[in-house]
Every structure is written in C-alpha cells, then in structure tokens.
C-alpha cells in the first residue's frame, strides 16, 4: 500500500498540481521531467530548509482542502509592486493596494472585514515556517516581500492546521530563495508609470557542497498616482546554510528593511468625481505616513533521523520601529467666556517599538500506513511607546502611554492514514493558549486601561482524500476555527475600560476536487475547486468611531456565515511548431453575511466583493517570447454594515509580454488599458453617509517594464 505522499506525488507529477501561477511557470513537475515512478517519489523529504517547490506541492496535494503553491519565479515575468500583485491568482484570497504602494488590504475566506482592517488579522504570515505575524495575530507593521521568496504556500482557513494555525483566513508561508535554488550573480531592474523604479542585486554561491550563502539588496521608489503617495524602500535579505552532515543541516536568515510611505488618505464620492488623484482631507496638512524600520534574525535546524523520521526546529527574533501620523487635528469652536476659539479635540500620531520572538518545532515519522506529524509554534510580542497629538507629522504632546504584551502557544498532532489503496484519512487536533495584556495610560488623567485575558481552545479536524484515479482526487474536511482578539481590538473595545472580548470560533465544512488531464504528450489542463461553509460565533467586528475618526470600536457579533466557492484552472495547448497557448483563471464567489442579527439582520459583511475573477491567456513561443491579455473583474461590495453604501463592480483589461534566454529576460506590462475609473478599496463604517470620505481610487492606465541578467 502506497503512502499518502506517494499518491500525492503521482497526482502532482501527472496533473501539474495547480500553483496559482502554474500557467506562467516553468517549474511544474511534468515540465521538469519529474518522474511519476512511485519509487522516486517515495524519497522526497517534505520538511526542512532544503524543501523544494515540488515537495511543497506534494504536501498541498496530501491536504484534504484548499491549499495552493505560488511559484515566485513566474512573477519575475511581470511587475510586482506589493504582495497583492502575487496573491491575485490565489482563489479565496482578495488582496488590493489602496494606492498602489505596499499599504495593502487582504482577506481570506472573509477575514478582516471591518474598520480594524489596518491590523490585517485573520491570516498567519510565516517566513520559512517561522512567524512574521505578531503573537496577538496582527500584521499591521510589515508584509513579507514576495520576491525574496522561492515560493509561497497559501493554506486557506482550517487547511493551515499543518502550520499550526486555526484562524479564519488560514496561513501563508514564504520559503526564502537560497543558493541551493540558484547560484551566481543576478541583477533585476524595473520601473514605469508614476515614478516607479526597482532594483535588486543578488549574489549566491556554494562551497564544497557544505556551505552556501545568498545576499539580495533591493531598493524601490514610487511617486504614486495620487498626491502625497510617495514611497522609498531599501532592504537586505540574506541566508546561509551549513550542511553539517548528510542528515543534518542548519540555516540562518537576516532581513533588514527601511520602508517610508506617504499616505494619500480617503476621498468622498464628490472628491473622486472631481479629481481622483488628489489627497484626502488632512493627509497633506497632517503629513500622513507610515515609516517602519525592521531587523529580523532567524535560524533553523533540519535533521533526518533514523528511518524516515524528520525533525525541524527554528527560532526568530524581529525588532520594528513604527512612526505613523494618521489623523490630522480635529478642531472645534469652544463656546466659553470671551471670543470663540478653535480647540483641538483629537489627532493621532503613533510612535512605537515592537519586539517579536518566535519558535517552531516539527517532528514527522511514518508508522506503517500512518504519517504522523507533531508540531508546536511559540510567539511573543511586546509593543512599547505611545500615541501623540499630530501637528503636521510631528509629535505635539503625548496622549497615551502604550505597553502591550501577547504570547501564543500552538501545539498540534496530525495523522494521515492510508486506510485503503485510494483512500487517505486525516485526523488532527490543535491546542491553543493565547495571552493578551493591553496597558494604555492616559497621560492627562493617569487612568490605566488594562484589558487582559487568556484564551484556551482545542480544535479538532477530520478529513479524507479519495483518489478517483492517478490524476484526480476528491476531498472533504470538517474543522473547528478559533481566533482570539488582537491587542488592537482589545484596546478599541466598545465597552472600554478593562473589558475584554470573546474569541471567535466556529465550524467549517469543505468539499472539493483537484487534478488534471492530458491529451497526448503536450496538451494538458488542471483544476482545483473548493466549496466551503463556515458558521461563526462571536466574530469580532469593528466600526469607525464617529467621535474620533481614524479609530475604531470592536465588539463580538453573535453569529455570522462565511461560505464560498474557490476555483483555479489552467492549461497548456500546443499551437503550431514550438508554440503553446496557456490559459489561467482564478475565480472566487463569496457569501459573507450576518445570521439573523438583532441589528443587521442578514446583511452582507462589508469590504469583500461578491465575486473575484482574475484571468489571462498567454501565448508562448519556443524561441522564448510570450504575450497575451489579462483581465480582472471585481464584483460589487458594501462599505458599511447597514448595506446602504454600495461600491460598484469593475473590470480591467491588461496586456503583458516578454522574452527570455538563458541569461537575459525582459518584460513589459500595460495595466488598465481602457483607463477605467474604479475604487480599489473602501474603509468601513456602521452606516456610511453619502458624503463620507472612505474611498480609495484605483490606478489609472499604466505601463511597467523590467529587465534582468543572470551571470
């Protein structure tokens, strides 16, 4: 009887297990000549610092739910300004940049659909299996640079159990490029509309097959298509490996980033119609910006034990400094004795330092027909600093002293049981213990607000994969979701004082199929489709505080429903001599709503479109050039819980093409060819007034080009 990984390997090799960019990639198992022989696949190691993208695809295929692997090499054929550009072909995930820079909004299976969307909770981000998301679950200060990764695994919802996550949106793990992936020196230069310029220089080498190292330095500048929208970023990404013995390897990682962004602010409908390129009210006078300096150190050890047992352990430490003027002075006329004088009632500048420590442990071993994995994740975060009044982007007196802590412990065990020749059962259990401790001191009154709590849960999961054939699989799972509040949500609790929030939890049922088909030796197509339904209790949602715009008030909502359809299809058909036509489409249908709520009834949740379609049709010639159209169709959405303020749907047409040889490659990309006006993102209100300034216009027609040379 074959192991579940052998079955998954055959599915990958034969069916081109769908990477969201597989249609653009050159690294599928079938294309690279990956053998479909079971004996060859049995030797693949799925964990460790040397994990290949093929092994990641095998791991995804052995999961009874929605998991995709993104090949980052394929995105070097196009302009990548931020993580949203990479996630567009990941079904179930909607990511968009509000103004074209790295300030993005993302949601997976309906996570993060409220006014606290700036903390980007609900998706656990990881680098090389170690946490980037803070211990309290927020991604406010930093998003991973996708081009520093070889590939990314997107595990939606409870399918992230293998990463120790149980959040509503799941987890995304980015595996770094190492010298084991590529050696030599390379240079990448790109730029285009709105003053964008990007440069990446990489050097990598291996010494005696024992030591290896890679260093990348990068810089990006961006003027923006709106006023007060500029960005400057420099970064360094390095890692080095030591093959201590044939069965023991170590790797160390260093990341350093300085990222300074101006924020253009939101506009009203009238302002968008008048001039969509203008900055929002207060953005210039308040000098809205988000400046983050980051230093991250990490290390991992991989050990191939006796038999087929594998052990992996890692630790990480990250320090961040945040300077964030975000709300301009709100002035009122004080009607007291004497002449009326304007008095400031609220403004906001955040200046904090954040320390994060993380750890991971994984042990995997086969016992007959059972593949058992035991793992643990550890996280600790501390944020110190304060909130200040904002005077043109400068501190104007401290209003709040901040000293917040969070810890997270996630332990899990998972058993993949090859019950029959074509049937694999998966059973898993995760334990979570999360602590939150928020200390906010009002400097004027000296009052301490100290919401503090401990959240504990056990989250089971049961799933099955049926191999209908060597190329086609059906899967299903029933899982429990669990997500404690972030510190941002606790400090903005509508109840105020020391009141806390309940964790949100729920049950999700998912069915789906993945696989592919081939005609002859050259034509093939593949698919991955999931249908899920989640009943959520105590979902944590927040609305903008009308008394202090720019802040939010959080509360638990009794019941909500998160359901959807996620579809990814691609193919390759031979056209003439030496050419092929490669279609790729990602489609997501969302159904997120309140469930007979006392206030909102069955209203739709805001922010997420009712559907998302991304597609392209690329012709590739054997001589190395390629070209074709792209299309993005985004459904309508609401900007408020009352469902009174609708944001229109839109469709964008693009073109992209390029050329590559052994050493040279070049691309050109034309976006929004028809110069459509649309709203890329909207803030959230309880009931949004018609004149509310909550809209962020999307990018107009633009062109980007890039060239790279690899020595």
Q: Which of 117-121, 263-267, 640-644 bottoms out in mean pLDDT, i.e. has the lowest?
A: 117-121
Position with higher pLDDT, 617 vs 470: 617
Q: Is 52 helix (H, G, I), strand (E, B) or coil?
A: coil
Is the whole-model pTM more than 0.85? yes
Q: Are the CB atoms for 457 and 141 separated by under 8 Å?
A: no
pLDDT of res. 330? 74
pLDDT of res. 545? 73
Domains of the chain: 4-710 (2.40.170.20)
Average pLDDT over residues 665-673: 97
Q: How confident is the model at residue 30 (pLDDT cuts 50, 70, 90)?
A: very low
Reading the block at residue 331, the tokens are 């002035």
pLDDT of res. 400? 97
pLDDT tens per residue, range 197-216: 999 999 999 999 999 999 99
Q: Which of 176-185, 223-232, 330-339, 406-415 bottoms out in mean pLDDT, i.e. has the lowest?
A: 330-339
Q: How confident is the model at residue 337 (pLDDT cuts 50, 70, 90)?
A: low
Q: How confident is the model at residue 339 (pLDDT cuts 50, 70, 90)?
A: low
pLDDT tens per residue, range 604-650: 999 999 999 999 999 999 899 999 999 999 999 999 999 999 999 99
Q: How confident is the model at residue 523 (pLDDT cuts 50, 70, 90)?
A: confident
The count of C-alpha atoms lying within 13 angstroms of the C-alpha of 6, restricted to the half-sphere facing its C-beta, is: 18
Q: What is the 3-state secondary structure of 557-608?
A: EEEEEEEEEEEEEEEEEEECCCEEEEEEEEEEEEEEEECCECCCECCECCCC
The strand pairing partners of 233, in sequence order, are: 220, 259
pLDDT of res. 25? 34
pLDDT of res. 166? 82
Q: Are the CB atoms for 624 and 672 separated by under 8 Å?
A: no
Taking 60 as the threshold, does the pLDDT of residue 352 lie above it?
yes
CA distance 177 to 1: 35
Taking 60 as the threshold, does the pLDDT of residue 15 lie above it?
no
DSSP string, 384-442: EEEEEEEETTEEEEEEEEEEEEEEEEEEEEEEEEEEETTEEEEEEEEEEEEEEE--EEE
The H-or-E segment that residue 237 falls in is strand 231-245
The H-or-E segment that residue 7 falls in is helix 4-15
Reading the block at residue 614, the tokens are 């991304």
- Percentage of the chain lying above the pLDDT 90 cut: 78
Q: How confident is the model at residue 40 (pLDDT cuts 50, 70, 90)?
A: very low
pLDDT of res. 676? 97
pLDDT tens per residue, range 83-94: 999 999 999 999
pLDDT of res. 196? 96
Average pLDDT over residues 227-246: 96
Q: Are the CB atoms for 663 and 711 separated by under 8 Å?
A: yes
CA distance 367 to 2: 13
Average pLDDT, the chain: 89
CA distance 225 to 400: 35
Q: How confident is the model at residue 141 (pLDDT cuts 50, 70, 90)?
A: confident
pLDDT tens per residue, range 310-331: 999 999 999 999 999 999 887 7
pLDDT of res. 520? 65
Taking 80 as the threshold, does the pLDDT of residue 553 lie above it?
yes
344: left (phi > 0), else alpha (psi -120 to 50), else beta?
Answer: beta
Reading the block at residue 447, the tokens are 């009052």
Reading the block at residue 640, the tokens are 């408020």
CA distance 527 to 515: 6
């Amino acid at each position: 009887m074959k192991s579940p990984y052998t079955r998954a390997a055959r599915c990958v090799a034969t069916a081109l297990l769908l990477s969201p960019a597989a249609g653009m990639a050159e690294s599928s198992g079938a294309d690279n000549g990956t053998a479909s022989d079971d004996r060859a696949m049995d030797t693949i190691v799925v964990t460790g610092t040397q994990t290949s993208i093929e092994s990641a695809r095998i791991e995804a295929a052995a999961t009874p739910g929605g998991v995709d692997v993104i090949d980052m090499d394929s995105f070097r054929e196009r302009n990548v300004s931020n993580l949203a550009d990479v996630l567009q072909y990941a079904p179930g995930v909607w990511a968009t940049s509000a103004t074209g820079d790295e300030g993005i909004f993302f949601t997976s299976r309906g996570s993060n659909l409220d006014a606290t969307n700036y903390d980007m909770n609900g998706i656990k981000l990881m680098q090389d299996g170690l946490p980037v998301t803070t211990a309290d679950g927020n991604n406010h200060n930093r998003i991973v640079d996708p081009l520093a990764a070889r590939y990314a695994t997107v595990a939606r919802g409870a399918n992230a159990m293998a990463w120790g996550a149980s959040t509503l949106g799941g987890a995304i793990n980015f595996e770094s490029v190492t010298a084991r992936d590529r050696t030599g020196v390379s240079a990448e230069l790109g730029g285009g509309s709105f003053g964008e310029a990007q440069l990446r220089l990489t050097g990598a080498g291996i010494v005696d097959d024992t030591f290896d190292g890679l260093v990348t330095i990068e810089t990006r500048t961006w003027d923006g298509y709106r006023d007060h929208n500029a960005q400057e970023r420099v970064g360094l990404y390095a890692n080095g490996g030591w093959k201590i013995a044939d069965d023991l390897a170590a790797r160390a990682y260093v990341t350093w980033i300085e990222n300074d962004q101006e924020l253009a602010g939101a506009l009203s409908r009238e302002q968008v119609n008048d001039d969509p390129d203008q900055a929002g009210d207060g953005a210039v006078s308040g000098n809205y910006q988000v400046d983050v300096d980051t230093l991250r150190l990490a290390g991992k050890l991989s050990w191939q034990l006796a038999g087929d047992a594998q052990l992996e352990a890692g630790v990480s430490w990250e320090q961040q400094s945040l300077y964030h003027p975000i709300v301009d002075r709100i002035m009122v006329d004080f009607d007291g004795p004497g002449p009326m004088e304007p008095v400031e009632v609220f403004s906001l500048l955040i200046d904090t330092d954040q320390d994060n420590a993380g750890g991971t442990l994984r042990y995997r071993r086969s016992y007959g027909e059972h593949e058992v994995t035991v793992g643990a994740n550890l996280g600790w975060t501390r944020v110190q600093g304060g909130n200040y009044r904002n005077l043109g982007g400068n501190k104007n007196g401290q209003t709040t002293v901040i000293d917040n802590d969070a810890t997270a412990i996630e332990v899990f065990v998972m058993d993949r049981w090859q019950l029959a020749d074509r049937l694999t059962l998966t059973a898993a259990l995760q334990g979570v213990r999360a602590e939150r401790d928020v200390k906010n001191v009002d400097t004027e009154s000296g009052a301490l607000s100290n919401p503090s709590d401990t959240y504990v849960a056990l989250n089971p999961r049961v799933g099955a994969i049926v191999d209908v054939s060597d190329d086609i699989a059906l899967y299903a799972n029933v899982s429990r979701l669990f997500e404690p509040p972030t510190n941002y949500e606790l400090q903005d609790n509508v109840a105020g004082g020391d009141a806390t929030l309940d964790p949100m939890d729920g049950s999700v049922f998912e069915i789906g199929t993945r696989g592919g088909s081939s005609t002859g030796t050259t034509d093939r197509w593949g698919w991955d489709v999931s249908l899920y339904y989640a009943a959520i209790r105590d979902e944590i949602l927040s609305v903008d505080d009308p008394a202090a715009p720019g802040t939010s008030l959080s509360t638990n909502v009794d019941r909500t429903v998160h359901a959807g359809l996620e579809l990814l299809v691609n193919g390759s058909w031979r056209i003439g001599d030496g050419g092929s036509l490669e279609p790729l489409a990602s489609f997501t249908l969302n159904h997120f709503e309140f469930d007979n709520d006392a206030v909102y009834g069955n209203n739709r949740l805001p922010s997420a479109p009712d559907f998302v379609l991304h597609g392209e049709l690329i012709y590739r010639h054997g001589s190395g050039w390629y070209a074709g159209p792209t299309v993005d169709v985004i459904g309508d959405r609401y900007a408020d819980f009352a469902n009174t303020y609708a944001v229109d749907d839109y469709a964008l047409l693009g073109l992209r093409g390029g050329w590559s040889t052994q050493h040279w490659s070049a691309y050109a990309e034309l976006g929004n060819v028809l110069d459509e006006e649309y709203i890329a993102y909207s803030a959230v209100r309880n009931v949004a007034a018609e004149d509310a300034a909550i809209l962020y216009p999307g990018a107009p027609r633009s062109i980007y080009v890039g060239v790279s040379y690899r020595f």
